Amino acid sequence: MAKKNVSADQLISAIISGIEDVKGKEINILDLRDIENTVCDYFIICEGTSNTQVNAIVNSIQKKVSKELKDHPWHVEGADNAEWVLLDYVNIAVHVFQKHIREYYDIEGLWGDAKSTVIQTSY
């Protein structure tokens, strides 16, 4: 569960770094704070090319956040099949998809009113 002394910016930075460490693709941050009745403040969405890479991204995020911030997700869902894994850090929900599942559910489209920030990667 999120610690009170960990800021959203610190957590977002650690999550993005964890994604980039294992070459996660198409990283997008949705800022939900200006939308009423949302379940959290931010979604961080990315994708991997296979269930192996999705699991690697999830593990990398958890290790990075644990090491840097001494924080852990409140809940993890979907790790068994690794097509869509949700890491719930209370105020930040991280969605790690395989490409075809991300396209099917179109989270960015469902939350089209959210401010979107695409993270450019160099790989």
Instruction: Name the pTM for this structure.
Output: 0.94
For the chain, the domains span: 8-109
Domain 8-109, CATH: 3.30.460.10
Q: pLDDT tens-digit profile of 15-59?
A: 999 999 999 999 999 999 999 999 999 999 999 999 999 999 999
Q: What is residue 42's three-state secondary structure?
A: strand
10 Å Cβ neighbour count for 88? 17
pLDDT at 1: 47
pLDDT band (50, 70, 90) for residue 4 = low
